[in-house]
Amino acid sequence: MIKTKEQLKINTETNANGDVKLFLSNLADFEGKNEKLRTFALAELKPGEEVEFHIHTGECESYYIISGEGEYNDNGEITKVLPGAVTFTPSGSGHGIKNTGADMLTFIALIILD
């Protein structure tokens, strides 16, 4: 099964002002996908915006940074992330990410249920 970029379902998240801050293109919108796969998405975060710190329970999440630059919050430890960086947040831990660059921060987000 194959889908083109135009066929992908795109969800958005807004900031406190109601402006779109994040675009999520669902890369796993296929019939018959493994039920443990919660999210496999292309994420595009606008400059200055962030995915606020949150804790994962019963699932783990990884990011693969494609382009842009940001700050990754790994349970309170802030680290600069650039293209090629990979993050991992196990169940019971938390993370967040902020776009600190002038361009979109683009990354793959993968969430697997325990």
Q: At residue 96, does pLDDT exceed 90?
A: yes
Asked whether residue 75 is assigned to any structural domain, the reply reads: yes
Backbone angles phi, psi at 42, to 5 degrees: -90, 120
Instruction: Give the rounded distance of the alpha carbon of 16 from its chain centre.
Output: 19
Q: Which residues are CB-contacts of 18 (< 8 A; sequence separation ≥ 6)?
A: none
What percentage of the chain exceeds 70 in pLDDT? 100
Q: At residue 32, does pLDDT exceed 90?
A: no
Distance between CA 50 and CA 62 in Å, rounded? 16
pTM: 0.93
Asked whether residue 12 is assigned to any structural domain, the reply reads: yes
Asked whether residue 3 is assigned to any structural domain, the reply reads: no
Instruction: Give me the domain span that covers residue 18.
Output: 8-113
CATH of residue 15: 2.60.120.10
Q: Could you report the per-residue pLDDT of 65-74, keeping only the tens digit for each?
A: 999 999 999 9
Asked whether residue 1 is assigned to any structural domain, the reply reads: no
Name the strand (E) or helix (H) holding 99.
strand 94-99
Q: Judge contact between 86 and 1, C-beta under 8 A.
A: no
Could you tell me which residues are beta bridge partners of residue 95?
54, 74
Asked whether residue 21 is assigned to any structural domain, the reply reads: yes
Domain count, the chain: 1
CA atoms within 13 A on the CB side of 103: 8
